[in-house]
């Protein structure tokens, strides 16, 4: 059985009416009655709306398509069809549906009826159409792009061959990423010309499409390539030499760039008939040199060329060449002298030179006495320079042109520089540390540091201001500690001085120190019963201290009876939050033959902790020790007996009978006020010093069960009993030290 796409379109309009009435019959338009050869796959039904559509308040339309003129097979009571017809209910808009047309080359009958609140309207007249014979859909036998590779900006032609002639209302379409494009042609040959805008290889498909733009059969695939065209390079002027005259070398610098990366060379036309060429790479500066023989204005033309013979635009540089000045005779150096011949370092001496003739314009007399070339002062035939040399050396005097080129030969002489007698430099003394107060009969200390640029530091001496003094040998930048005991309360001024081996003294460092009698502090009374709060920094706190993260906030609790210090949980979602629970894991030998489970091995009650790596008792203990809780790093899991020591029957009742009953089942003691059940006032721990107990109160101990290596002991602080459970279950942890 085949299916045909149906498009039903409602045309026309209706006048307005103030009340609903029965709709008149629609007027059937297309296909015209008795139309033949309707495509089986593209049937379009069109009618005109009833003239009273508005006043009849039409809600939709009923369309019936049947294989017989009397529409046998349609049931009005159920508004349904058997296999010989089809019925549709549609709103007023255009729609698409599928009609079950069994055979081609067969007549079909159709009619339309409007639907409104007052009931069904009048049926339209009955029209008929006849489908044509089955259409033979062509297959694409070949599809190609010509050329298969094209430069960007150029066009190519896509062609396709069919195995049979294309039927009416069918089309051949191309898709290369720009949507469906209809190809032109006739019979079995179709083509279309396109200018792609991208660069690179691209796949395309060609297919046969019906009137509803649906692909019939499969599409033919192929590919083509768009190549970026060669770009011409660009040449740039960098700089050139100045004051160019005939007979002298003129230099100019150029660089070039080629976006294709295939730059070959830079070409220069000097404008006087001469040319130059140098190989070049992208952004490389090339220096060109040329000598002009005739004065005048020249236009230098520069070009860059790439490996594909693409040439840049001309770059023109204008240059004016003047006649070279007449050559003047260069004098020679007749004599040189230095006075005095020897000088103490830091003092100056005078160099002088006499020439055989006056020095021409543009030339200079220069000397090198170890500090590079220096121009000498003077004119005519006499020149001199006064300077303080730093060391003995030979000096050279010569005549130089404007390009700093030596003309002729140099004259050479010698001088000597002697070093002055060394001057002893006093050492320096610095205060490093020391309090401004002290107590009688206790050590008071200061730290001092001395330095001596002569490296002959000897000692540091200190006068304590009470008649006592000290002295210690010292070396450069070493810190010395001086200590003294003041016997009487008063304000003292101590002073210190450093000395070198020649007993040259440094600056004096002095400070006031207020010495008082010590304050007697009463001894600290340590509680031996109950609990004591301990701070993050390990100090002892009062019972009024509050939990917190500051160094002096409460973080641990000490059991004054046993001397054990216990972890107190936080409520900050951090490492030790009271909500986190863990699997039992202990890799050491005393684990009862079963190490337990890491967070990755949990099969029951997945742990909930600060990070994935801290979800077992072993990892959590290591993490707390790394942080140094309450100033210590020796935290551990408590034994079962230690953990039982925290049980506190808050209602004061202890049920011996229940304990004995539970002991037979492997449990420990119990707090209970009920002889028949495990009921008590929870929690069974001192909530004043342990305010962090969770709902089920089960805390792990480090003790494995002797009965089963897969179990470990713990304490339930809801009922105050001790028991053991599987190591893979989850429980809370309270560390101890």
Q: Say how far apart CA 534 and CA 516 lie, in whole Å.
A: 33
pLDDT, position 290? 93
Cα–Cα distances (Å) from 682 to 647, 718, 720, 732, in that order, read: 11, 5, 9, 17
Which domains does the chain carry? 2-131 (2.60.40.10), 140-227 (2.60.40.10), 234-321 (2.60.40.10), 333-418 (2.60.40.10), 428-516 (2.60.40.10), 528-737 (no CATH)
Q: What is the DSSP string of 569-618?
A: -BSSSSTTBTT-BBB-B--SS-STT--B--GGG--SS--B-SSGGG-BHH
pLDDT tens digits, one per residue of 173-224:
999 999 999 999 988 999 999 999 888 899 999 999 988 899 988 999 999 9
Cα–Cα distances (Å) from 471 to 442, 459, 480, 482, 507, in that order, read: 20, 7, 10, 9, 16
pLDDT, position 313? 94
Element (H, E) at 302: strand 296-306
Q: Say how far apart CA 398 and CA 393 lie, in whole Å.
A: 17
pLDDT tens digits, one per residue of 68-110:
888 888 888 888 888 888 888 887 644 344 454 555 568 889 9
* CA contacts within 13 A on the Cβ side of 688: 12
pLDDT, position 212? 86
**What single-letter DSSP state applies at residue 327?**
P
Q: Say how far apart CA 270 and CA 235 lie, in whole Å.
A: 16
pLDDT, position 101? 53
pLDDT, position 556? 97
Element (H, E) at 127: strand 127-131
Q: Say how far apart CA 414 and CA 392 lie, in whole Å.
A: 8
Q: What's the pLDDT band for 651 if we cut at 50, 70, 90? A: low
Model pTM?
A: 0.33
> Is residue 300's pLDDT more than 90?
yes
């Amino acid at each position: 059985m085949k299916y045909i796409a149906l498009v039903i379109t409602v045309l026309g309009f209706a006048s307005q009416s103030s009340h609903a009435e029965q709709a008149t019959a629609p007027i059937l338009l297309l296909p015209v009655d008795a139309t033949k050869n309707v495509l089986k796959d593209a049937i379009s039904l069109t009618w005109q709306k009833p003239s009273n559509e508005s006043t009849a308040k039409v809600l939709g339309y009923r369309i019936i398509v049947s294989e017989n003129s009397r529409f046998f097979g349609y049931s009005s009571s159920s508004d349904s069809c058997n296999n010989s017809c089809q019925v549709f209910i549609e709103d007023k808009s255009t729609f698409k549906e599928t009609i079950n047309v069994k055979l081609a080359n067969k007549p079909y009958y159709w009619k339309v009826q409007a639907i409104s609140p007052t009931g069904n309207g009048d049926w339209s007249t009955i029209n008929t159409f006849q489908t044509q014979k089955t259409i033979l859909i062509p297959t694409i036998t070949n599809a190609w792009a010509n050329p298969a590779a094209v430069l960007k900006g150029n066009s190519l032609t896509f062609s396709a061959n069919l195995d049979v002639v294309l039927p009416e209302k069918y089309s051949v379409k191309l898709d290369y990423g720009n949507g469906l494009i209809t190809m032109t042609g006739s019979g079995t040959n179709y083509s279309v010309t396109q200018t792609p805008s991208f660069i690179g290889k691209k796949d395309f498909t060609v297919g046969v499409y019906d009137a509803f733009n649906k692909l019939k059969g499969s599409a033919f695939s192929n590919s083509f390539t768009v190549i970026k065209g060669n770009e011409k390079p660009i040449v740039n002027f960098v700089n050139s030499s100045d004051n160019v005259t005939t007979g002298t070398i003129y230099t100019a610098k150029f660089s070039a760039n080629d976006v294709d990366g295939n730059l070959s060379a830079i070409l220069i036309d000097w404008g006087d008939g001469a040319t130059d060429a140098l190989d070049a790479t992208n952004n490389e500066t090339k220096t060109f040199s040329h000598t002009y023989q005739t004065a005048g204005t020249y236009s230098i033309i520069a070009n860059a060329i790439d490996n594909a013979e693409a040439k840049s635009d001309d770059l023109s540089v204008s240059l004016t060449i003047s006649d070279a000045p007449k050559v003047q005779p260069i004098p020679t150096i007749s004599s040189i002298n230095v006075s005095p011949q020897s000088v103490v370092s830091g003092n100056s001496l005078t160099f002088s030179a006499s020439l055989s003739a006056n020095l021409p314009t543009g030339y200079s007399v220069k000397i090198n006495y170890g500090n590079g070339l220096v121009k000498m002062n003077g004119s005519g035939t006499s020149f001199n320079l006064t300077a303080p040399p730093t060391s003995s050396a030979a000096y050279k005097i010569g005549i130089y042109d404007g390009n700093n080129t030596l003309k002729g030969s140099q004259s050479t002489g010698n001088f000597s520089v002697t070093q002055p007698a060394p001057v002893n430099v006093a050492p320096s003394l610095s205060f490093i540390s020391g309090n401004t107060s002290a107590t009688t009969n206790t050590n008071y200390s200061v730290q001092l540091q001395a330095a001596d640029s002569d490296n002959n530091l000897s000692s540091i001496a200190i006068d304590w201001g009470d008649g006592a003094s000290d002295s210690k040998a010292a070396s450069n930048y070493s810190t010395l500690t001086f200590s003294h005991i003041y016997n009487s309360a008063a304000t003292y001024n101590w002073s210190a001085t450093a000395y070198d081996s020649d007993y040259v003294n440094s600056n004096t460092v002095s400070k006031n120190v207020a010495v008082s009698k010590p304050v007697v502090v009463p001894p600290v009374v340590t509680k031996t019963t109950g609990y004591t709060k301990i701070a993050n920094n390990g100090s002892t706190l009062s019972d009024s201290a509050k939990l917190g993260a500051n160094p002096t906030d409460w973080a641990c609790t000490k059991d004054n009876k046993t001397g054990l210090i216990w972890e107190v949980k936080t409520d900050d979602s951090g490492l030790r939050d009271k909500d986190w629970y863990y699997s039992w894991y202990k890799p050491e030998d005393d684990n009862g033959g079963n190490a337990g489970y890491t967070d990755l091995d949990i099969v029951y009650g997945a742990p909930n902790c600060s990070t994935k790596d801290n979800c077992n008792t072993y990892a959590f203990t290591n993490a707390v020790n790394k942080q140094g809780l309450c100033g210590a790093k020796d935290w551990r899991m408590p034994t079962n007996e230690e953990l039982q020591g925290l049980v506190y029957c808050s209602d004061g009742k202890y049920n011996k009978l229940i304990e004995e009953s539970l002991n037979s089942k492997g449990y420990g003691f119990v707090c209970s006020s009920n002889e028949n059940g495990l009921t008590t006032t929870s929690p069974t721990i001192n909530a004043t010093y342990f305010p962090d107990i969770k709902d089920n109160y089960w805390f792990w101990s480090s003790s494995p069960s002797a009965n089963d290596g897969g179990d470990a002991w713990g304490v339930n602080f809801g009922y105050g009993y001790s028991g053991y459970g599987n190591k893979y279950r989850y429980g809370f942890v309270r560390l101890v030290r």
